[in-house]
Amino acid sequence: MLRPALAADAAAICAIYNPYILETYISFEETAVSHEQMAQRIQTVLDAGLPWLVYEQQGKLSAYAYATPWRTRPAYRHSVEVSVYAARESVAQGLGSALYQALFTQLQQLGIHSVIAGIALPNPASIALHEKMGMRQVARFSEVGQKFGQWHDVGYWEKLFTRS
């Protein structure tokens, strides 16, 4: 079941996200996020009028996706950055695609024109997902993040929604 996130989902979202922080370079955060911090992040996204979606399987959150403003200056108001994360046991089950499809539909309804995703590299699975969703690589920044004693590049993918 796909539905909007609630502040009450913060603990379950942390259970999905914190292993990415603590065990991988996929997130450049270095400290686990508390339930309170995650609840505030969810509220900030919702207060900005943007969607945060979760995928629930048999009563358990398995994945989530959300959009945040790309930049703060007014001219950027039609651009967002998107992220998607799945619990380790739920990877490669199509949840990311389902979440992004629903997220992109909602973003188009909100008048968003440009969707941007940053990917810590290498990350072939994330690249495949974003390209499956019609995103294309537009930039690569070399060695902009250091985690676990190694430098990592970050690539940016984008998708433009057509205006009718």
Q: What is the CATH number of the domain that holds 90?
A: 3.40.630.30
5: exposed, middle or buried (Cβ count in 10 Å: 0-12, 13-18, 19+): buried
Q: Any idea what the Cα angle at residue 130 is, between residues 82 and 70, rounded to 5°?
A: 25
Distances (CA, A) of 155 to 9, 16, 95, 129, 146: 29, 23, 22, 14, 15
SS3 65: strand
Q: Regarding beta strands 150-160 and 136-147, do their DSSP bridges make them parallel or antiparallel, or are they unpaired?
A: antiparallel
Length of the chain (residues): 164
Q: Give the residues across from 2 on adjacent strands.
A: 55
pTM equals 0.93
pLDDT tens digits, the chain, 164 residues: what are they? 999 999 999 999 999 999 999 999 999 999 999 999 999 999 999 999 999 999 998 889 999 999 999 998 999 999 999 999 998 887 777 888 999 999 999 999 999 999 999 999 999 999 999 999 999 999 999 999 999 999 999 999 999 998 65
The label of the residue with tokens 């968003």 reads 112
Domain count across the chain: 1
Main-chain dihedrals φ then ψ at residue 134, nearest 5 degrees: 90, 10
Domain residues for 30? 2-160
